[in-house]
């Protein structure tokens, strides 16, 4: 087995188990990095230092550290729309400012059972609605590679925390690309599991037929370990699938010979940055050199994905966010003279502009006279998109795409142009609509030194194929390092 790269979750766990370090020392280092960098980055929203050190001390006191779990002593950051008992969870919104959930999400509980230590909560677009992490009520997140640029969204805080070396692992949520796109723009690994692979219990809902929790990581092995910790059925989530959790570590065998990779080259002909296209083409050459069969394919109905996604997702958001009424929890406006006025004022004050925009769009497409014309047609088109992916995956084992059509763009550039912002998701929303697993891996840099992401999409519940291919690419190009180290991946642009 390869030696884990320094700073990875695998390396930290090994050092802890072998007695070369303590969980306390590891967490003190992470807390120091957060204190030094976060004011400028804006990646973290809440950190409970005392709770972190108590948890670390408890792990250090174990008689046999080998029993502490596969992520023992590893600090993990958690996106702020994933509930953590006793630790503020706001979803980046004034509507939930100061809210402390009475329970933790199933994914968080499973991480902790695996020995991980939740170091804090990461900033995100409000209610996970955004592609740039600029829509948080608590300020934007900045890309560690160039702090004048966005880290992507909505899980931008989690991606920035990995890229800056604050932590080796983080959880995000992916509705239309919110794990994969920031992973690409920050140059780390981001995985969207198959819909139903990971419990959504404790994830603050945006679009319930699309939302999935997924890991962001430094290495493929770390991502596989994190998914193994959080995956599996859950009685508290009726949409979690009763599918066994395999040994994904066994997929990291460094062999991709004979694997068929479908490359829809036609999708790169319009709107894709030249450096991004070159890096993805170069990645195809790497796979071919390692024995994969790379073939051009057509991905049917791909042009429908963005409009279909923004009809279905906003409709579901309109329904899910109706619960934020100022009555049971969250922000309640003062001074209202009637129940209706209190509802209106609480929602007007609590929600930001992008959330209001999506609620209005979703309410419109669900309204009488428009439901058939928009929502039902979008659902029919979703079935065609799903069929298009199924057809492509019948002739290929994996589909390769850019994760994002462009590298990280300047902060503020697209805030006033929602359509341009939504087009950031052009390559990620298709897999979300089809419920498929997809991973973004770093595949080089632009001429300006900005990371580029390669996306691989697989068949339902075949995350093993994603890990296998991504591991081969990582072995060929070298382990990625946080930008704070000044290192670059070998190979790529």
Q: Please identify every residue annotated as catalytic.
A: 79, 154, 178
Q: Which two tokens stand for residue 196?
A: 């139903």
CB atoms within 10 A of CB 108: 26
In three-state secondary structure terms, 215 is strand
SS3 content of the chain, % helix, strand, coil (to 5): 45, 15, 45
Q: What is the DSSP letter of 214?
A: E
CA distance 32 to 166: 9
CA distance 404 to 438: 13
Q: Which two tokens stand for residue 458?
A: 């697989």
In three-state secondary structure terms, 286 is helix
Based on its alpha-carbon atoms, the radius of gyration of the chain, rounded to whole angstroms, reads 21
Report which of 200, 209, 193, 292 is spatially closest to residue 246, judged by C-alpha positions.
193
Strands, sheet with 75-79, edge to edge from the N-terminal-most edge strand: 44-46, 117-122, 75-79, 169-174, 212-217, 189-192, 438-445, 451-457, 398-402, 260-263, 293-296
Bin 90: left if φ > 0, else alpha if -120 < ψ < 50, else beta.
Answer: alpha
The answer to whether residues 419 and 354 touch, using CB atoms and an 8 Å cutoff, is no
Distance spanning both ends of the chain, measured CA to CA = 29
The answer to whether residues 425 and 144 touch, using CB atoms and an 8 Å cutoff, is no
Residues recorded for the chain: 493
With residue 55 as reference, give the H or E element that holds it. helix 49-60
Report which of 466, 474, 480, 472 is spatially closest to residue 192, judged by C-alpha positions.
466
CA distance 167 to 183: 14
């Amino acid at each position: 087995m390869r030696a884990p790269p320094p700073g990875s979750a695998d390396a930290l766990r090994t050092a802890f188990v072998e007695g070369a370090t303590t969980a306390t020392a590891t967490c003190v280092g992470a807390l120091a990095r957060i204190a030094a960098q976060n004011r400028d980055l804006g990646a973290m929203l809440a950190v409970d230092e005392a709770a972190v050190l108590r948890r670390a001390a408890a792990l250090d006191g174990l008689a046999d550290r080998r029993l502490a779990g596969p992520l023992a002593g590893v600090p993990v950051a958690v996106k702020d729309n994933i509930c953590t008992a006793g630790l503020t969870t706001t979803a980046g919104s004034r509507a939930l400012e100061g809210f402390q959930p009475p329970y933790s999400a199933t994914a968080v509980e499973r991480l902790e059972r695996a020995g991980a230590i939740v170091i804090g909560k990461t900033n995100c677009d409000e209610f996970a609605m955004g592609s740039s992490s600029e829509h948080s009520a608590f300020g934007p997140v900045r890309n560690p590679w160039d702090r004048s640029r966005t880290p992507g969204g909505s899980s931008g805080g989690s991606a920035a925390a990995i890229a800056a070396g604050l932590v080796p692992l983080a959880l995000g949520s992916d509705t239309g690309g919110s794990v994969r796109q920031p992973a690409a723009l920050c140059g780390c690994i981001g995985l969207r599991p198959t819909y139903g692979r990971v419990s959504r219990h404790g994830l603050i809902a945006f679009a319930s037929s699309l939302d999935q929790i997924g890991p962001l990581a430094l290495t493929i092995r770390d991502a596989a370990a994190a998914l193994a910790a959080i995956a599996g059925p859950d009685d508290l989530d009726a949409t979690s699938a009763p599918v066994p959790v395999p040994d994904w570590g066994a997929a990291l065998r460094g062999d991709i010979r004979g694997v068929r990779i479908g490359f829809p080259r036609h999708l790169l002909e319009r709107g894709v940055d030249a450096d991004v296209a070159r890096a993805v083409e170069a990645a195809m050459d790497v796979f071919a050199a390692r024995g994969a069969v790379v073939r051009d394919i057509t991905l049917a109905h791909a042009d429908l994905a963005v409009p279909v996604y923004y009809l279905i997702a906003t409709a579901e958001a309109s329904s899910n966010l109706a619960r934020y009424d100022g009555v049971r929890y969250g922000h309640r406006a003062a001074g209202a003279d009637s129940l209706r006025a209190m509802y209106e004022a609480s929602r007007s004050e609590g929600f930001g502009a992008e959330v209001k925009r999506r609620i209005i769009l979703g309410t419109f497409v669900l309204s009488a006279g428009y439901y058939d014309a928009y929502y039902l047609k979008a659902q029919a088109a979703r079935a065609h998109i799903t069929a298009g992916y199924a057809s492509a995956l019948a002739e290929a084992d994996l589909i390769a795409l850019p994760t994002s059509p462009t590298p990280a763009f300047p902060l503020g550039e697209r805030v006033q142009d929602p359509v341009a912002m939504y087009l950031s998701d052009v390559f990620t929303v298709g897999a979300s609509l089809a419920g498929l697993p997809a991973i973004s891996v770093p595949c080089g840099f632009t001429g300006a030194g900005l990371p580029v992401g390669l996306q691989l999409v697989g068949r339902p519940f075949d995350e093993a194929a994603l890990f296998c291919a991504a591991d081969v690419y990582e072995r060929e190009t070298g382990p990625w390092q946080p930008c704070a180290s000044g290192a670059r991946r070998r190979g790529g642009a």
